[in-house]
Structure 1
Amino acid sequence: MVTMIAAAAENNALGKDNDLVWHLPDDFKRFKKLTTGHPIIMGRKTYESFPSPLPNRKHIIITRQKNYKACENCVVVPSLKEALAIAEEDEQPFVIGGGEIYKQALPYSDKIELTRVHGNFEADAFFPEIDLHNWELVAEEYHSKDDKHNYDFTYLTYIRKK
């Protein structure tokens, strides 16, 4: 089951200048809890936005750059199809971005774990539109802003309709 996991604003904004436009510590904790122990598939720019590789996850990085060097335990591939083939031994690989990789992965995905950040943001990377004819919302959990979170947000879980 391929799962896309993302935090996106109401206008589907993901980030700007290769960085997030909000800081949600609880969302980072949820991301860690869900993805730990599973392969994470990402584009090169997403990988480069990390201060260091994320522990206990196989990093599969998609780039067209030949001879791209990444971390010792990272796998570098030229396409999403190759990334999915490498990750297929796991029961739930995660696609973690960025915008172009999400767009490519949508047809291959069975589940979406989306943190909907309530607000509209200026961005240069966007999450693809979720067509509710193809996806069913199966879980929803609202969180209001507080001293650690500047924005209200909702965890949404979608499953592809059969």
Structure 2
Amino acid sequence: MITFVWAEDQQHQIGIEGHLPWKLPLDLHHFKEITYGHSIIMGRKTFMSLPKVLPGRKHVVLTTSKELKRKYQNNKNVVIVQSKNELQEWVEKHKNQNLCVIGGNSVFKALIKQADYLEKTAIKATFTADTTMIPIKYDEFSLIKKESHYPDEQNKYSFDFLTYKRKEQSNETNINI
């Protein structure tokens, strides 16, 4: 099962200079709840934006960097894949596990047709950013859960946790005689 996990503002912005443009501790807690114990799939820039290798998660990183491959070759929590084909092979081998795609855009684009669930944090504000989320055909998904949050001492902005599930594809064929 593949789940996309991300946060975006009202203009679908998701990052600036390799980092989140906002600070929402509750969203980070939500991210941990969703991804803990699962493999997280990302590109090099997303991996480099993390403060460290996150505990309790296997990191699958799409990159052509030979330096990263050497650096993490003995780390059992980091798998380096060097092409989209290699990423697809890895996903196919692990399709019975919960896989969380966390960015960036090239990884989202490569796996969007295989996404079963979307876990989106929709922030009710607009930020200066340089990265926008890829277009998603929401008509292919059903909203199955919405949890609203309002500003508090630690979380400065209103936001919603939205969970979408891919709609079942009908295998029936209409035959007119």
CA distance in 1, matches of 2:109, 2:152: 32
Deviation, 1:126, is: 1.6
Greater Cα offset, 118-127 or 15-24: 118-127
The one-character-per-residue Cα deviations of 1:58-87 (angstroms, maximum 9, x if unpaired) are: 110001233533442211002344335334
Aligned length: 162
Instruction: Give the alignment's TM-score, normalised by structure 2.
Output: 0.84
Q: Does 1:86 align with 2:94?
A: no
Greater Cα offset, 14-23 or 77-86: 77-86
2:21 maps to which residue?
21
Greater Cα offset, 67-76 or 146-155: 67-76
Q: Which has the higher helix share?
A: 2
1:39 maps to which residue?
39
Greater Cα offset, 6-15 or 124-133: 124-133
- CA separation of 1:81 and 1:39: change in aligned 2, threshold 3 A: farther
3-state SS of 2:18 partner: coil
Give the letter aligned to residue 100 of structure 1: S
CA distance in 1, matches of 2:166, 2:85: 19
Q: Gaps spanning 5+ residues in structure 2: where?
A: 169-177
Greater Cα offset, 68-77 or 131-140: 68-77
Q: Does 1:76 align with 2:57?
A: no
Q: Percent identity?
A: 36
Q: Is the 8 A contact 1:14 1:99 kept in 2?
A: no
3-state SS of 1:133 partner: helix
Q: Does 1:147 align with 2:156?
A: no
CA distance in 2, matches of 1:17, 1:27: 20
Deviation, 1:35, is: 0.7
CA distance in 1, matches of 2:141, 2:147: 17
Q: Could you say which structure has the larger radius of gyration?
A: 2
Q: Gaps spanning 5+ residues in structure 1: where?
A: none
CA distance in 2, matches of 1:64, 1:81: 12
The one-character-per-residue Cα deviations of 1:29-72 (angstroms, maximum 9, x if unpaired) are: 11111111111000001100112100011110001233533442
Runs of 4+ aligned structure 1 residues displaced above 6 Å come to none
Greater Cα offset, 60-69 or 14-23: 60-69
Q: Is the 8 A contact 1:103 1:127 kept in 2?
A: no
Structure 1 vs Structure 2 CA RMSD: 1.6
3-state SS of 1:151 partner: coil
Q: Which aligned pairs between 1:1-162 and structure 2 lie closer than 5 A?
A: 1-69=1-69, 70-71=71-72, 72-73=75-76, 74-87=78-91, 88=94, 90-162=96-168
CA distance in 1, matches of 2:86, 2:151: 40
